[in-house]
Chains A and B, each alone.
Chain A
Amino acid sequence: MRIRKIYIENFGKLHHLEMDLKDGLNLVCEANGWGKTTLAAFVKAMFYGLDYTTKRSLKDNERKRYMPWQGGAFGGSLEFETGDGCYRVERFFGARDKEDSFVLYDLETGLLSERYSQRLGGEIFGLDRAAYERSCFLGQQDLAVTVNDSLNAGLTHVEEDAGDMHHYEQAMHSLETRMKYFQKTGGRGQIGKIQEQRSQLKEELAECHQKEIQMRQWQERIQEKAQQEKYLRMQIASLENQEQSFRDYEVRTAQKAQHDLLKKQAVMKEEQLRTTAGELAEYVSVPLKEKVLDQCREQIYQVHTMQMQEEFSEDQVRHTKYEVEKLHQDGKTLKGQNAYWLSVVFGVLGILVGAVFFWMEQVAAGILFAVFGLLGLFYAVWRYRRYKQKWNEWNQELEQAEITYKKAETEHLELQKSRKDLEKKICQTLQVPDQTEFRELEIRWKKMRQETQRYSILKQTYEVHRQEAQRSREDYLEYRNSYPEEEWEKILNVQKPELEKEELCYRRNLYQSQHEEVLEELQDMQNQMMRVREWAERIPELEEEHAYLDQELEKAVCEHRLLEKTMQYLRTARDQFSVRYLRDLQNGIEQYVHTLVPEVKLAPTVDVKLKVGFQEAGTTRDLESLSAGWQDLIQLAERFSIVDALYQEEQPVLILDDPFVNLDDRKRRRAMRLLNDMAEKRQMIYFTCRS
């Protein structure tokens, strides 16, 4: 490959720089600080673009490092020639890789080309950016540093720049440390720890499962025992029932006896009542009540009294009648004594005679007769008044006597009537004919009295019997109603249980003692079961923990395995990487060293760790034993051999930044000659500040 032209729009400090390059060696003689490294970086950026990284240091962040100092479009173009044509690549960069632009022109047609993509460098050289940088750019400082610091690493400065090989051991150490965290020798480490915990847990879990099995066994036994307990309980209950039945039988028997007794009493009382009722029924009519009889007796005596009163009254009537008759006689007598009319007549005659005398003027006679006449009138008035008084008195007496008589008569009649009424009533009461003699009434009354008393006693007896019968019946009915009918069925048809009370009691006691034993056993079994159950109940918790540890273990094992594999792949990669270039590198180094110093026979060696040494007197020696110039020389040879080894097909442009500064003149001349030879097959840009 050949670069024909470089045009830098803006790249770092370089600005509007145009450079035409020829085949072979291109010498650029510029002062320090011109921008040779920037130019080299630009060439690399044209082929590989600029990497995007968040790294802040300018050394690690090229995009930041080569941002144009003066601003403006960041990038440029590069015309190059490969085996299949001429192209111009134009790249401009932004702050992020997404803002970058890439255009490729085919210079023969002038059209856009898709022959190469943005990964232009990789596609042309078969190497990535870092490899290109490490191999094709030979910096003076780099070389010096390499020479000074990396003699032990030999050719590994290729990896040194990438940071790989230096970090390999560190990486392996880090991975190993992490692996050791998980697993150390002797089963120690996190995995061992988890495994141990897990194993303990597993044992515990197994024990818990064992306990769970035991628990199940206990549960089964408990169930069996519970069945036994249930059977005994049922037996006891059955016996208790039987005992209860027996008690019921006893109670019912007593109840039946009571029932029969009450019934018998009720029947007896009923019979008694019937007898008494029969006796009562024999009475056609109900005898008079004693009270009535008492009244009757009183009435009899009252009649007797009334008879006496009647006699007396009769006397009274007679007497008063006599009195009235006598007064009537007296009145007649009194009427006969009515002579005042003569006095009146004599008086009037006297007056008249007197008047006549007066008229005849016989005054004295007139007066005498007048006075006589007046006296006669006065006498008449006095006599009349006296008569009137006596009449009135008589009249009053008569009236009084008549009243008394009538009253006596009335009373007598009333008394007589009352007596007769009473007699009639008594006769009616005593059911004897009217006007029965008092004596007979008396006899009759006594007889009836006896009857009444007998009846009363019978009735009382009947009442007593009736009450007794009723009470007995009520007692019976009350007793009968105190239980429902179906209960009476049971009471009346009570059967004696097969087993005797004592037998039942004996059997129940037997079962109860067995039951108590079983209960004790059951309790004991339950306690046993509860003890193992506590273990069994821990299973979910332990399983959880086990699952957690499983997960942790799996994670740890997985991590360990990954670390192991990572180390394995890193180891393989290192070996592969080393072996891939080892022979070519070794031959190349030997050839270039021979070209540079043909008078010295040096046999360089490269081990798989890409450590360069040289053989002398059958032993391999480190480069450190050589001088700085020799180290530089061998370093240069390494670089050229690396380029030879890396670029098999398309040869890249080598950029050399005054790498021969440490070489003596002879060696430098030889080196320059070598460059000229090398420039025949590849283009080179050689920067130097010396003419």
Chain B
Amino acid sequence: MKLIHCADLHLDARMESSLPKEKAKERRLELLRTFTRMVERAASEGVDAVLLCGDLFDGKTIAVRARNCVLDAIQRHPQMDFYYLQGNHDQNSFLSELSVIPENLKTFGKEWTSYELGDVVITGAEMTEETAEGLEDRLNLDTDRINIVMLHGMITEYGAKDQKEGFSLKKCKGKSIDYLALGHIHRYRQERLDDRGIWCYPGCLEGRGFDECGQKGYVQLEIVDHQVCADFVPFAERTLHEVQVDITGLLTQEEICRAVQEAVLTIPGKDMVKMILTGEVPPEAEKDEGWLEKWLEHDFYFLKVKDETRLLIRPEDYQYDISLKGEFVRQVMASDLSEREKEQILRLGIRALAGED
């Protein structure tokens, strides 16, 4: 038996990567397409069921297009069951708009609900403020069956009282769980739950912002001889990368460009890159984020440069500098501005005094 475990798709959600308007729109469509691609792949590989562990959608209002696209994908594959557990972002937006829930779309409530799929029992509960308390204690599973449990929330060692999506991993141990299918964390993570089972966050299917860098995809489960094997399948259309480039000691634009080019050499052009310039640079260094962005504009689907370099300026060098620059540096250094502000002002002032724009 084959199953697919995915979560946190956040379909039709706003992009968090400061994409230009058109690209943000394109990415939203790509997110939808990645979902349908995943379903098509599942169908072609004879997958029996798809576990959607929460946050399929992002808010109360979902676009008709997104709703219809998901509904169509479900209806076009009646041979596959879709187990849809709502997450904190879903807010019943999808289900409330369905006049008829397709037969192959299985939903869950605030208390544990179980479905049988051959030898497998799929159990899930939607976590809310009211139900989270003691939810794990109320879980009773048949030891002789293969038990897959679906939850959407943050695992904590002893249960998070202050977080309504929190649940205790400790309480899930020894409950005859073979696979704890989770959602809520956007990064793939899989670990052993107890002697019998494992828990797994598949992460999101596509990264939406640069806080969701790295490979994204779903987890494919294969149940052979009463054993659940889970493998992560990278499936995102585009990967988001955060690349740090240390430009310490680099003064000219050419040197910085070369360093930047080397740093992104292995990244495919269809990906999205956030480049962070680090290190300590003197005020005279020819560093220009805008220029770098323009220069690499066509090399990637999207690229942005963030300057996190520190200004290589030692106050002691200016302690005895009898010049306007020295006085300026001393004035700024003695101010109660933040270190970052001081650096920025010093860079601006010194470069301006040096006759540079």
Contacts and interface: CB of A to CB of B under 8 A. Distances in A.
Given A565-B345, A566-B349, A165 B331 contact: no
A675 interface: no
B352 A174 contact: yes
A551 B19 CA distance: 11
B213 interface: no
Contacts of B348: 175, 562-563, 566
27 contacts: A54-B251, A54-B252, A128-B317, A128-B322, A168-B324, A168-B353, A170-B352, A216-B60, A537-B62, A539-B61, A540-B14, A540-B58, A541-B21, A541-B25, A544-B14, A544-B21, A544-B24, A547-B14, A569-B328, A570-B349, A572-B331, A573-B327, A573-B330, A576-B327, A576-B331, A577-B324, A580-B327
A516 interface: no
A276 to B, nearest CB: 63
A562 B341 contact: yes
Interface stretch (A32-40, A119-127, A313-321, A348-356): A119-127
Contacts of B60: 216
Contacts of A135: 322
A240 interface: no
Interface in A110-125: 119, 122, 125
A171 interface: yes
A177 to B, nearest CB: 8
B357 A178 contact: yes
Nearest to B344: A562
A163 interface: yes
Contacts of B354: 163, 167
A644 to B, nearest CB: 13
B263 interface: no
A122 B319 contact: yes
Interface string A494-538: 000000000000000000000000000000000000100100110
A170 B355 contact: yes
Given A119-B316, A128-B317, A168-B353, A574 B345 contact: no
A25 to B, nearest CB: 25
Contacts of B323: 128, 130-131, 158-159, 162, 164, 577
- Which 5 residue pairs of A and B lie closest in terms of their CB atoms, listed nearest first? A171-B352, A164-B324, A131-B322, A573-B328, A540-B14
Contact of B321 (A131, A174, A541, A566): A131
B63 interface: yes
Contacts of B95: none
B69 interface: no
B338 to A, nearest CB: 11
Given A172-B352, A536-B61, A569-B331, 16 more contacts: A128-B318, A134-B322, A158-B322, A174-B352, A537-B61, A537-B64, A540-B14, A540-B59, A544-B15, A562-B341, A565-B345, A569-B335, A569-B345, A570-B352, A576-B327, A577-B324
Contact of A547 (B18, B59, B332): B18
A126 B321 CA distance: 8
A170 B354 CA distance: 9
Interface in B299-357: 316-328, 330-332, 335, 337, 341, 344-345, 348-349, 352-355, 357
Interface of A: 54, 119, 122, 125-128, 130-131, 134-135, 158-159, 162-165, 167-168, 170-172, 174-175, 178, 212, 215-216, 530, 533, 536-537, 539-541, 543-545, 547-548, 551, 562-563, 565-566, 569-570, 572-574, 576-577, 580, 646
Given A544-B21, A565-B337, A167 B353 contact: yes
Contacts of A212: 61
A164 B325 CA distance: 7
Contacts of A533: 61, 64
Contacts of A565: 337, 341, 345
A195 B250 CA distance: 37
B297 to A, nearest CB: 17
Given A130-B323, A544-B21, A175 B352 contact: yes
B122 to A, nearest CB: 31
Contacts of A580: 327
Max count, chain B CB within 10 A of own CB: residue among A131, A163, A569: A569
B171 to A, nearest CB: 36
Contact of A548 (B20, B316, B320, B322): B20
Given A54-B252, A163-B353, A573 B324 contact: yes
B332 to A, nearest CB: 5
Interface in B31-71: 58-64
Contact of B18 (A172, A548, A573): A548
Interface of B: 12-16, 18-21, 24-25, 28, 58-64, 251-252, 316-328, 330-332, 335, 337, 341, 344-345, 348-349, 352-355, 357
Contacts of B25: 541
B328 A126 contact: no
Contact of A540 (B12, B317, B335, B357): B12
B345 A566 contact: yes
A122 B61 CA distance: 67
A112 to B, nearest CB: 22
Given A537-B61, A537-B63, A540-B14, A171 B355 contact: yes
A134 B321 CA distance: 11
B320 A131 contact: yes
Nearest to A576: B327
Nearest to A543: B14
Chain A CB within 10 A, most for which of B14, B20, B25, B317: B14
Contacts of B63: 537
Contact of A127 (B13, B19, B320, B352): B320
Nearest to B349: A566
A521 B89 CA distance: 32
B248 to A, nearest CB: 14
B321 A569 contact: no
A217 to B, nearest CB: 13
Contacts of A577: 322-324, 327
Nearest to A122: B320
Contacts of A566: 345, 348-349, 352
Contacts of B331: 569, 572-573, 576
Contacts of A540: 12-14, 28, 58-59
A125 B330 CA distance: 18
A339 B333 CA distance: 200
Given A127-B320, A174-B357, A569 B349 contact: yes
Contacts of A574: 324, 327
Contacts of B344: 562
Contacts of A544: 14-15, 19, 21, 24
Nearest to A211: B61
Nearest to A219: B96
B141 to A, nearest CB: 37
Contacts of A536: 61
B57 to A, nearest CB: 11
A537 B13 CA distance: 10
Given A171-B349, A570-B328, A128 B14 contact: no
Nearest to B61: A536
Contacts of A178: 357
Contacts of A131: 320-323, 326
Contacts of A168: 324, 353
A212 B93 CA distance: 13
A530 B246 CA distance: 52
A660 to B, nearest CB: 25
A130 B341 contact: no
B270 to A, nearest CB: 21
A216 B251 CA distance: 57
A312 to B, nearest CB: 101
Given A171-B352, A569-B328, A215 B61 contact: yes
Nearest to A156: B324
A158 B325 CA distance: 12
B92 to A, nearest CB: 12
A570 B316 CA distance: 19
A352 B24 CA distance: 174
